[in-house]
Structure 1
Amino acid sequence: MARTADHSDLLSICWADRGMHRHWLLNEGQRLLDHYAKARVPSGFATLGHDGNMVDDTAKSLITARMVHCYALATLMGVPGAATRCDHGIDALLDGPLRDQVNGGWFSDASATLDNPSRKNAYLHAFVALAGASATIADRPRGTELMEAAITIIDQHFWLEDEQSMLPSFAADWSDPEAYRGANCNMHTTEACLALADATGETRWLDRALSLAKRFGHNIPKTYDGRLPEHFDSGWNLLPDYDVNEPSDDLRPWGLTPGHFAEWAGLLLKVESACTARDYEVPDWLLPDAITLFDSATDRGWAPDGKPGMVYTIGWEDEISIANRPYWVQAEMANTALMLSRRTGDPRFEHYYRLAWDYIASTLIDLEHGGWRHEVDADGNLSTVVYPTREDLYHDFQATVTPLIPLSASVAGGLRTQLLATTT
Structure 2
Amino acid sequence: MTDLQRLLDFAERSAVPGGFGFLGGNGQVIAERPLMTFITARKTHVFGLAQLLGRPGAGELVRHGVEALTDGPLRDAARGGWYATAEDDTKSAYVHAFVVLAGATATVVGAPGGRELLDDALDVWQTRFWDDDAGLAVEEWDAGWTRLSDYRGANANMHGVEASLAAADALGDGDPRAARLRTQALRSTERVVHGWARERAWRLPEHFTPDWTPLPEYNRDEPADPFRPYGVTIGHQFEWARLALHLRAVTPEPPAWLIDDGVALFDAAATRGWAADGADGFPYTLGWDDRVVVGARMHWVLCEAVAAAEAFAGVTGDRRYGDLARRWRAHGEERFADPVTGSWHHELTPDGRVASGTWDGQPDAYHLVQMLLLSEGRPVRGSVAATLR
Q: CA RMSD in A?
A: 1.2
The answer to whether residue 29 in structure 2 is matched with residue 54 in structure 1 is: yes
Partner of 2:64: 88
How many Å apart are 1:216 and its aligned residue?
1.2
Once structures 1 and 2 are overlaid, which stretch shifts more, 151-160 or 185-194? 151-160
After TM superposition, the runs of 4+ consecutive aligned structure 1 residues lying more than 4 A away are none
The answer to whether residue 181 in structure 2 is matched with residue 205 in structure 1 is: yes
The answer to whether residue 236 in structure 2 is matched with residue 260 in structure 1 is: yes
SS of corresponding position for 1:343: helix
Asked whether the equivalents of residues 203 and 288 of structure 2 are also in contact (C-alpha less than 8 Å), the reply is: no
Asked whether the equivalents of residues 106 and 115 of structure 2 are also in contact (C-alpha less than 8 Å), the reply is: yes
Asked whether the equivalents of residues 231 and 238 of structure 1 are also in contact (C-alpha less than 8 Å), the reply is: yes
Partner of 2:175: none
CA distance in 1, matches of 2:165, 2:127: 19
Q: Which of 136, 145, 148 pairs up with 1:177?
A: 148
Letter in 1 for 2:77: Q
SS of corresponding position for 1:147: helix
Once structures 1 and 2 are overlaid, which stretch shifts more, 346-355 or 87-96? 346-355
The answer to whether residue 19 in structure 2 is matched with residue 44 in structure 1 is: yes
Cα deviation 1:257-315 (Å, max 9, x = unaligned): 0111111000000000111xxxx121110111110000000111111122111110000
Asked whether the equivalents of residues 310 and 329 of structure 1 are also in contact (C-alpha less than 8 Å), the reply is: yes
Q: Which of 363, 386, 389 pairs up with 1:413?
A: 386
Q: Which runs of 5+ in 2 are unaligned?
A: 173-177
Asked whether the equivalents of residues 52 and 370 of structure 1 are also in contact (C-alpha less than 8 Å), the reply is: no
Alignment of 1:73-112 (within 5 A): 73-110=49-86, 112=87
Q: Which of 263, 279, 293 pairs up with 1:291?
A: 263
SS of corresponding position for 1:48: coil
Partner of 1:362: 334
Asked whether the equivalents of residues 341 and 350 of structure 1 are also in contact (C-alpha less than 8 Å), the reply is: yes
The answer to whether residue 370 in structure 2 is matched with residue 394 in structure 1 is: no
Partner of 2:98: 127
Letter in 1 for 2:254: V
How many Å apart are 1:102 and its aligned residue?
1.3
The answer to whether residue 302 in structure 2 is matched with residue 326 in structure 1 is: no
CA distance in 1, matches of 2:338, 2:113: 34
Asked whether the equivalents of residues 72 and 134 of structure 1 are also in contact (C-alpha less than 8 Å), the reply is: yes
Asked whether the equivalents of residues 52 and 371 of structure 1 are also in contact (C-alpha less than 8 Å), the reply is: no
The answer to whether residue 286 in structure 2 is matched with residue 311 in structure 1 is: no
Partner of 1:271: 247
How many Å apart are 1:59 and its aligned residue?
2.6
Asked whether the equivalents of residues 41 and 59 of structure 1 are also in contact (C-alpha less than 8 Å), the reply is: no
SS of corresponding position for 1:321: strand
Cα deviation 1:320-368 (Å, max 9, x = unaligned): 0001110000000001100111111111111210111101100111012
Asked whether the equivalents of residues 345 and 361 of structure 2 are also in contact (C-alpha less than 8 Å), the reply is: no
Q: Which runs of 5+ in 1 are unaligned?
A: 1-23, 417-424
How many Å apart are 1:54 and its aligned residue?
1.6
Partner of 1:35: 10
Letter in 2 for 1:330: L
SS of corresponding position for 2:293: strand
Letter in 1 for 2:150: A
How many Å apart are 1:220 and its aligned residue?
0.9
SS of corresponding position for 1:261: helix
The answer to whether residue 113 in structure 2 is matched with residue 142 in structure 1 is: yes
SS of corresponding position for 1:392: coil
SS of corresponding position for 2:30: strand
Identity of aligned residues (%): 40
TM-score by length of 1: 0.88
